[in-house]
Structure 1
């Protein structure tokens, strides 16, 4: 009898860590997910809409100064951080250089928040804004999980202060971009073969991560469904003017979600704007074997070293690919 008691205790001792590991890895959580196709709705509760009325600290010199007779074909909005000055300097002399094409009107601006790393960094950002006149900055903390706020700030600025561009490209500051391939994708002149409400980039169809050790862990309480709406990775995407205005209008009524790409997928679904996959947008950086290997790349993630990005971009430009 005593042996049976000890065996039972041993089984319990072994079972408890097993159950803990299974729970921590989120294996059982999937059993309680709701079917997306049948049950999806958002917002989940009576969530209040987060205010987007952040105070602008700096605006580009060209804000509210739109030449409607010659609107930009493309406006590039670069999501950056206050401390990433070196990346911005390199972008200004590579793919963010506005006067690169004499026959195409392009604008470029940087989206920033407020650094919590000290007053001097924010003062440097203010001085940079005065020098270059291309910074959109508002009074929210510049942090990873505030990227949704940063993206919506860009949509808000474009909607309220610069809404005559044909297309808007949102892109992170660690990307390689070929503006030449962007313009080829959009079409020549003022015409385009795309639908009027264009939302394009690298499309994902994936499921929520339930692993509690993951940076991207999502609980059932936060999102109970077994998959996400189709979404475009937020590192680089393009919106037509019509799509941008509608996304901002609808997004202003939808509670924010902490992952900006998921949030935009939710907003696009609610706005009935289809997501358009384009092979030229690359989520994983391809191996670089010379300019020919990047001949069809529109945007590629993975260039945390701005000097490397500049070298690759210059080589591709010399080969007439950038």
Structure 2
């Protein structure tokens, strides 16, 4: 028994405390104490337990789930304590051997351990996942839009908004006026003239200016004060520029759908226009039993030629729009439309690639919808070019372009001055 203790201490000092040799001798000493050792059990241990001491490790850094995973007969008794292992460092021919004994019984307080993850195909078990990485969608790096690129559809927000402008009302006409943020003079001129919401008795009219962000410091505070005073500014969070007019127009459509769905008509009118509101109201006919549908009218452009000269304001690169002519469209300086159209145009914009010419893009959306502008009873009602002022001439025209703010104020005052009646154009509504 003393010999047994001595051998056990020598093995503990010279070996890994959890090695098969130390544990085997400890087991033997315990069994000798009970007088149950036998030569046959020793023969079994000497030929099996010590031949492959490290079979549980499939790679140098593999963690062993159970230290004695190589024992196939953990309850066998050894009778000879000094048995030498024949191949203590034998190299495994199959490094990923599957254990056949998942439940190892130990003569320690933790009697049962289940060997987890016993089967290993390769030391790097994440290889299948790594193989799938090239198929993952990589985020596209942000790049600024090109000079002819229109960022739409896009989720824009209104910094200045008038969501209650049509609440509780059924406006007959909503005037949407695109304007530059810094052009306060033009806005005041429109408010004092054709943008007056009380201009036509018995007809509900609403007026709104739509604008983007300015690249001028200090202007935003002025816009906040102006909005508080007049409650008619809609400002989106996009840079206000000529190339972003399509964004401005589509935000106008979005706002109308969201906040004025009960209106009968809307009209988009630039600030440099003279607008004969009373004639426009007669053209739309507030006494009709119901509003028109799929209706949009103005100065219709047919066979519009695409400009390829780079010096032109309306230059269009072939890679943006390859066709030599544009589809049928309405000049963007002034047009009126029924309120069933904005939602349809927005749906078309999801599939029709935008271009920066907003009136042409509107025509492209109409073409996609299979719709065409409604011809006017007189093609000259919406005038495309500046026209010298004449009270009687302007009486028979819906819109004229090319107005400076001071001209608009001057002509408007004379237009409403009492005077002899003007001849009526038989092609215009009575």
Give the TM-score category using the shorter length.
Answer: 0.7 to 0.9
Out of 273, 295, 303, the position equivalent to 2:395 is: 295
Kept after mapping to 2: 8 A contact 1:61/1:133: no
Other-structure match for 2:268: 170
* Worse-superposed segment, 246-255 or 194-203: 246-255
Matched, 1:200 2:297: yes
CA–CA separation in structure 2 for the residues paired with 1:165 and 1:245: 13
In 2: Cα distance, 1:82 partner to 1:272 partner: 35
How far off is 1:139 after superposition?
Answer: 0.6
Confirm or deny that 1:221 pairs with 2:322.
no
Offset of residue 189 of structure 1: 2.1
TM-score with structure 2 setting the length:
0.59
Q: How many Å separate the matches in 2 of 1:309 and 1:62?
A: 29
The 2-side partners of 1:300 and 1:277 are apart by 18
Q: Which residue of 2 aligns with 1:152?
A: 250
User: In the superposition, relative to structure 1, how do residues 252 and 58 fare at CA in structure 2: closer, same or farther (>3 Å)?
Assistant: farther
Question: C-alpha distance in 2, partners of 1:61/1:92?
Answer: 20
SS for the counterpart of 2:299 is strand
Q: Does 1:136 align with 2:234?
A: yes
Structure 2 counterpart of 1:315, from 414, 418, 421: 414
Q: How many residues align?
A: 268
Cα distance in 2, alignment partners of residues 219 and 257 from structure 1: 10
Greater RCO, CA 8 A, separation 6+:
1
Task: State how far apart, in whole Å, the 1-side matches of 2:260 and 2:171 are.
Answer: 10
Of 215-224 and 77-86, the range deviating more from structure 2: 215-224
CA distance in 2, matches of 1:111, 1:252: 22
- The Cα shift of 1:102 comes to 2.6
Please say if 1:113 is aligned against 2:212.
yes
The correspondence of residues 66-77 of structure 1 with structure 2, limited to 5 A, is: 66-67=167-168, 70-77=169-176
Alpha-carbon distance, 1:195 to partner: 4.5
1:98 paired residue number: 197
Q: Which runs of 5+ in 1 are unaligned?
A: 1-46
Partner of residue 58, structure 2: none
Matched residue, 1:284 = 385
Of structures 1 and 2, the larger Rg is shown by 2
Q: Hey, which of these two has a bigger chunk of strand by percent?
A: 1
User: Are the counterparts in 2 of residues 72 and 106 from structure 1 also a CA contact under 8 Å?
Assistant: yes
Note if contact 1:94-1:313 (Cα within 8 Å) is conserved in structure 2: yes
SS at match of 1:97: coil
Structure 1, 91-100 or 277-286: larger mean CA deviation: 277-286
Question: Does 262-271 or 212-221 show the bigger shift?
Answer: 212-221
Aligned to 2:220: 122
| Superposition deviation, residue 276 in structure 1 | 2.2
Shift of 1:92: 0.8
- Contact 1:231–1:261 at 8 Å: present in 2 too? yes
Gaps of 5+ in 2: 1-148, 423-430
The worse-fitting range, judged by mean Cα deviation, of 48-57 and 83-92 is: 48-57
1:207 alignment partner, SS class:
coil
Asked if 1 retains the 8 angstrom alpha-carbon contact of 2:150 and 2:354, the reply is no
SS at match of 2:416: helix
Q: Deviations over 1:252-275 (max 9, x none)?
A: 443321110110010111112211
